[in-house]
């Protein structure tokens, strides 16, 4: 009987020691097979937490995981991507009703956008909003694809004018692309007659430049806004607005 209780005591001591060791030295990444796969950062969300979630939690194919992981690494290193925002978006995506195909479509959009050095904060925010509003996931996928196309067109336009990271900081460049794209999308969304309004170059120009001027001193500089106003025409902005409108099914070509 004495040996029996002694054996139990040794077993309990060993288990408690193992639990204590895991609590002290365990990684921030937690995989719970009985519940949703989650990342629990010990202090602040890091790029490693995001990479762990992609590799171990995200239910997409391995090639999609590898591509997304590879695209996020330089973005994190250049401080172009916020780990906390990215992880939150991926968790929302994984815990949503999206099919694997839809998840892979979203991941592919992010991979391509990041590889083209285009900011993705607008995409992250759009997914969060769509999930919050319980939008059908095919609608969310379509919105993200449309927004990514607008972001790409705006970046190409600014690059062609020399308004890029060769002249401005990465943060300013990313902000200008994001805010112009957001303004163009908002212009179309708020229009009562988008098919006509998208072709109104002066109205589009006034709306976009007005939005940018409101950001001077906070996230944009006077010099950058002046540069955009002097070199980007209303017709060019109107062209992107029309393309966005067509993608939304609100305009004819």
- Domain ranges within the chain, ordered by starting residue: 48-247
Residue bearing the bigger pLDDT, 155 or 43: 155
What's the Cα-to-Cα distance from 74 to each of 70, 136, 205, rounded to whole Å? 8, 32, 34
Name 38's bridge partners: 30
What's the pLDDT at 4?
A: 45
Tens-digit pLDDT profile for residues 197-214: 999 999 999 999 999 999
What's the pLDDT at 208?
A: 98
Tens-digit pLDDT profile for residues 6-35: 444 444 444 444 433 333 333 344 443 324
- Return the number of other C-beta atoms located less than 10 Å from residue 118's C-beta: 21
What's the Cα-to-Cα distance from 149 to each of 107, 120, 142, 211, rounded to whole Å? 15, 11, 11, 20
Query: Confidence class of residue 39 from pLDDT cuts 50, 70 and 90?
Result: low
Nearest residue to 51 (alpha-carbon basis) of 96, 22, 25, 81? 81
Query: Confidence class of residue 252 from pLDDT cuts 50, 70 and 90?
Result: confident
What's the pLDDT at 188?
A: 96
What's the Cα-to-Cα distance from 183 to each of 86, 179, 206, 208, rounded to whole Å? 23, 6, 11, 6
**All residues at 6 or more sequence positions from 61 whose CB lies less than 8 Å from its CB, including other chains:** 100, 104
């Amino acid at each position: 009987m004495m040996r029996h209780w002694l054996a139990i005591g040794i077993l309990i001591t060993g288990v408690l020691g193992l639990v204590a060791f895991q609590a002290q030295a365990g990684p921030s990444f937690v995989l719970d097979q009985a519940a949703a796969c989650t990342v629990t950062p010990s202090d602040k969300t890091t790029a490693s937490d995001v990479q762990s979630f992609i590799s171990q939690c995200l239910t997409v194919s391995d090639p999609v995981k590898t591509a997304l992981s590879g695209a996020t690494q330089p973005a994190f290193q250049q401080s172009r991507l916020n780990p906390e925002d990215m992880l939150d978006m991926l968790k929302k995506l994984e815990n949503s009703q999206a099919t694997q195909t839809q998840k892979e479509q979203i991941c592919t959009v992010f991979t391509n956008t990041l590889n083209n050095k285009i900011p993705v904060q607008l995409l992250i925010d759009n997914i969060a909003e769509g999930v919050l509003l319980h939008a059908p996931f095919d609608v969310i996928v379509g919105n993200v694809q449309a927004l990514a196309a607008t972001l790409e067109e705006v970046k190409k336009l600014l690059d062609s004018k020399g308004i890029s990271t060769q002249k401005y900081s990465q943060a300013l460049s990313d902000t200008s692309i994001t805010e112009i794209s957001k303004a163009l999308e908002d212009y179309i969304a708020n229009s009562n007659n988008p098919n006509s309004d998208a072709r109104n170059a002066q109205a589009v120009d006034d709306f976009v430049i007005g939005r940018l001027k409101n950001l001077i001193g906070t996230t944009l500089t006077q010099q950058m806004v002046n540069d955009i106003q002097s070199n980007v025409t209303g017709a060019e902005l109107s062209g992107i607005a029309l393309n966005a409108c067509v993608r939304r099914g609100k305009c004819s070509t």
